[in-house]
């Protein structure tokens, strides 16, 4: 059963990733990216991280992708004649070759490490959300606060950048 779900998720996520890169209409690309994000959330459920799957669906598919679609429809991009770069085939083949070498190296490595103490039994006893919360507020508190400041800076930066320049219009009001 797990194998079936893994095969389904892997197949659909890789196919939708290729569609995101290859489709011509940007809105179609956004919808393919939505499919990819939902299937990555399925991977997280398969890996016993339900909280992260919900975060993925709410934040990625719910907030970030809606932001992308808003900007796409706000700008009303037309599908161009030349969607791809000039040397598309060369770039794609070289990158796929390098990626294939990395894939072979990764698949032939044993991946052994020390195990932590957050076994599925422990997480199942306290609940995944609570376990993640306890870890994030004990071991990663400084990083959590840094993320908070970073998000505040991102919000202020986005507002300042995308603000309608009113003062500039007053300066050039005599020009047509």
Smallest gap from residue 14 Cβ to other proteins (A): 6
Smallest gap from residue 174 Cβ to other proteins (A): 20
- Of 24, 12, 15, the closest CA to residue 78 belongs to 24
Using the minimum distance from each CB to other proteins, give the nearer residue, 80 or 174.
Answer: 80
- Of 13, 48, 33, the closest CA to residue 128 belongs to 48
Using the minimum distance from each CB to other proteins, give the nearer residue, 2 or 173.
Answer: 2
Q: In the Cβ-directed half-sphere of 174, how many Cα atoms lie within 13 Å?
A: 1
Using the minimum distance from each CB to other proteins, give the nearer residue, 12 or 173.
Answer: 12
Smallest gap from residue 49 Cβ to other proteins (A): 5
Distance CA 50, CA 42 (A): 9
Smallest gap from residue 61 Cβ to other proteins (A): 11
**Which CA distances in Å does 3 have to 8, 18, 53, 155, 168?**
9, 22, 19, 42, 60
Distance CA 71, CA 162 (A): 11
- Of 90, 72, 93, 64, the closest CA to residue 25 belongs to 72
Token look-up 């799957």 returns 53
Smallest gap from residue 6 Cβ to other proteins (A): 5
Distance CA 58, CA 32 (A): 17
């Amino acid at each position: 059963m797990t194998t079936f779900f893994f095969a389904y998720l892997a197949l659909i996520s890789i196919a939708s990733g290729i569609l995101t890169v290859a489709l011509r209409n940007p809105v179609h690309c956004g919808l393919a990216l939505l499919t990819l994000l939902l299937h990555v959330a399925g991977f997280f459920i398969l890996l016993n991280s339900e909280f992260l799957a919900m975060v993925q669906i709410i934040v990625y598919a719910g907030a970030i992708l809606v932001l992308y679609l808003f900007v796409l429809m706000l700008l009303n991009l037309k599908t161009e004649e030349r969607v791809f770069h000039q040397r598309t085939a060369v770039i794609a083949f070289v990158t796929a070759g390098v990626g294939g070498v990395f894939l072979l190296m990764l698949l032939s490595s044993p991946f052994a490490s020390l195990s932590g103490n957050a076994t599925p039994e422990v997480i199942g006893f306290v609940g995944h959300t609570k376990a993640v919360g306890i870890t994030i507020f004990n071991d990663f508190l400084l990083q959590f606060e840094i993320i908070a400041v970073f998000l505040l800076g991102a919000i202020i930066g986005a507002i300042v950048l995308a603000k309608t320049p009113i003062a500039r219009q007053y300066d050039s009001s005599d020009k047509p």
